[in-house]
Amino acid sequence: MTFSVHGLPVARGIAIGRAVLMASSRVDVAHYFIEPGQAATEIERVRTGRNAVVDEIHRLQHTISTMGPKEAPHELAALLDVHLMLLQDEELINGVKHWITDRLYNAEWALTTQLEVLSRQFDDMEDDYLRGRKADLEQVAERILRYMKGVTSPTTPPNVGRRKTQQDLLLDDSMDVPLVMIAHDLSPADMLQFKQSVFAGFVTDVGGRNSHTAIVARSMDIPAVVGARSASQLVRQDDWVIVDGDAGLMIVDPSPIILAEYGFKQRQGELERGRLSRLRHTPAVTLDGQKVELLANIELPEDAPAAVKAGAVGVGLFRSEFLFMGRRGQMPDEEEQYNAYRRAVEGMEGLPMTIRTVDVGADKPLDDSVRDEAHLNPALGLRAIRWSLADPAMFLTQLRAILRAAGHGPVNMLIPMLAHASEIRQTVSLIDFARAELDNRGVAYGPIKLGAMIEIPAAALTLKIFLKYFDFLSIGTNDLIQYTLAIDRSDESVAHLYDPLHPAVLRLVAETIAECNAQGKGVSVCGEMAGDTSLTRLLLGLGLRSFSMHPAQILAVKQEVLRADTSRLVAWAMQVVEAEDPAQAMLAV
Ligand code: PEP
Ligand code: MG
């Protein structure tokens, strides 16, 4: 039966494929693809795990048989019998074998996937007692997972979410079908792991349009929908689904007519992309001769060459925090960071690279398993520059690494989330200190331009202080909107209030651009507004000449730039900013 689930559109395009449900487990589970030759070993790992848990239960049964009914009630023995029965259920093991052999999932992923399949069968049972056994099944699966976690895998996960090679596809026909990842939640780090993945689309139950998970999905240029509430409950493993990333919609079990319609839309999208690719070498200049700088936002050093290829004239935002995530508290040292930044700089072939100092916290936890639940408002807590200043040794390590990388090409250093003059002064003196440390060690480093992000209303309202210390400013509209409107950017329940066109937001953006232009300082927008083609003309009218966005958006924004006449946009843009309903005022051009 065809049905649809609505969410928030995140990354454009249409994906059609089979659902891969990322089961949420209380045990932290790695997800990666194995080589076909490793299937037998992975199956053996699950079998060994299962046998170990069976032995453990046998031992327990023996122990309780020696106890009286007071210490070991009858129910306990019955429960252990149920666990044993579930562990020996062929459907569990056969299902796991299927996911390993046919889909090449690693052992843990295969087990949690089969657990999900069986759990759904229990949910559908009429009998209350049998339905209640789902909890037992989850318990035994978790015991196996915990056992497997204690036993190191002979298969290191080198090819996490890697794209299948043609040879893999030939080995197994079923791999030819595009796969769509459906999960309750995916952290930004999870998402990044899937960057070079087989997945043709993503859907999550939670998340806002500008949550970091959504941003990473957009940077992958793969159709995605977030905030789809109960999607992961409604879809079953292997269901056919369509992800409409433009409309924020997922269609489950589509009829042939719907499939044909979306297949057509998919081809239209590909044609449009082909058409836009012709603009790659066209300079971004408006009809009235204004040069516009189109820069890329990247998450990993390896993204730099792709940014150049997409037509970017530099990187306006390298989110360095992704180097720090998922390392179980082990921070990258100076050498590792220097090498990563150097690779990013060299990947730009002489074009400027803007490295933002680490911005973790709130919806970007260092580790998935260590979400900040201790603080009521993590977005208002110790994140970004506050986190860096709280740990000067860690911050100095990063500063030295960036300064050293600046010896290999043009580098801008960008500081996130500043609000106070005291934070600015501390940051500037730590940068001086990092230089002095390198001088003392006799280590070479290069010049940098220093920039600040304008992400907090307090910063936008005290621009004069910022312009005294910084060479350029970059407006982080994602956070500026969040903090101006008091709307959590990753909470789908208030997503309808997250409004880039709110008059207060537009005023702060307009004044920042105007003040920088008046003082001859560089200013760019690096939040998601910069890559939104419906806002390009407005930002141009407000005087913006530097936009930083996902590489996938660059050509579409360039097309808008080429069609714009800024001399005719200035008065209109001011009217939009001053209107009670800017979205409405934008229509009157
Ligand atoms: C922003 O806040 O607009 C921004 C670019 O930073 P991030 O999205 O990484 O918080
Ligand atoms: Mg930000």
- What confidence score (pLDDT) does residue 166 get? 31
Residue closest to 506 by CA, chosen among 452, 578, 569: 578
Active site residue 212: yes
Question: Which of 456, 487, 524, 526 gets mutated to test ligand 1 (max ligand atoms within 8 A of its CB)?
Answer: 526
Helix residue ranges, H only, 457-547: 457-460, 463-469, 477-485, 503-519, 536-541
- The CATH number that domain 36-149 falls under is 1.10.274.10
Average pLDDT, the chain: 88
Q: Domain extents for the chain?
A: 3-19+156-257, 36-149, 284-588
**Binning pLDDT at 50, 70 and 90, where does residue 125 land?**
confident
The SS3 of residue 326 is coil
Catalytic-labelled residue, pool 83, 408, 516, 526: 526
State the fold for domain 284-588.
Answer: TIM Barrel (3.20.20)
Q: How far apart are CA 518 and CA 87, in angstroms?
A: 72
Instruction: Indicate which ligand has the atom closest to the C-alpha of 475.
Output: 1
Q: How far apart are CA 33 and CA 414, in angstroms?
A: 36
Catalytic-labelled residue, pool 31, 212, 408, 550: 212
User: Are 521 and 473 within 8 A, CB to CB?
Assistant: yes
DSSP state at residue 356:
E
> One fold for both 36-149 and 284-588?
no
- What confidence score (pLDDT) does residue 269 get? 92
What residue ranges line ligand 1, CB within 6 angstroms?
Answer: 215, 317, 319, 359, 455, 476-479, 526-527
Residue 67 has pLDDT above 50, yes or no: yes
Residue 75 has pLDDT above 70, yes or no: no
Q: What is the pLDDT of residues 323-380, one digit of tens each?
A: 998 787 789 999 999 999 999 999 999 999 999 999 988 777 787 655 566 677 889 9
- Position in ligand 1 atom list of the atom nearest CA 319: 9
Task: Tell me what percent of the residues of the chain surpass a pLDDT of 70.
Answer: 91
Residue closest to 108 by CA, chosen among 100, 117, 98: 100
- Position in ligand 1 atom list of the atom nearest CA 528: 3
Say which residue, 164 or 214, is predicted with more confidence. 214
Active site residue 98: no
**Binning pLDDT at 50, 70 and 90, where does residue 28 land?**
low
Question: Which of 295, 417, 478 gets mutated to test ligand 1 (max ligand atoms within 8 A of its CB)?
Answer: 478
- What confidence score (pLDDT) does residue 577 get? 98
Instruction: Assign domain 3-19+156-257 one CATH number from 3.50.50.60, 3.50.30.10, 3.30.379.10, 3.30.420.40.
Output: 3.50.30.10
- Position in ligand 1 atom list of the atom nearest CA 476: 3
- Which residue has the least CA distance to atom 10 on ligand 1? 479
Q: CB within 8 A of 82, min separation 6: which ones? A: 133, 136
> Residue 377 CB: number of other CB atoms within 10 A?
9
- φ, ψ for residue 289 (rounded to 5)? 80, 15
- What confidence score (pLDDT) does residue 371 get? 59
208 class by beta-carbon count within 10 Å (0-12 exposed, 13-18 middle, 19+ buried): buried
- Position in ligand 1 atom list of the atom nearest CA 478: 3
Longest dimension (CA), the chain: 92
- What confidence score (pLDDT) does residue 146 get? 80
Q: How far apart are CA 216 and CA 302, in angstroms?
A: 14
- What confidence score (pLDDT) does residue 117 get? 86
Residue 297 has pLDDT above 90, yes or no: yes
Q: What is the pLDDT of residues 149-177, one digit of tens each?
A: 765 444 333 333 333 333 333 333 444 68
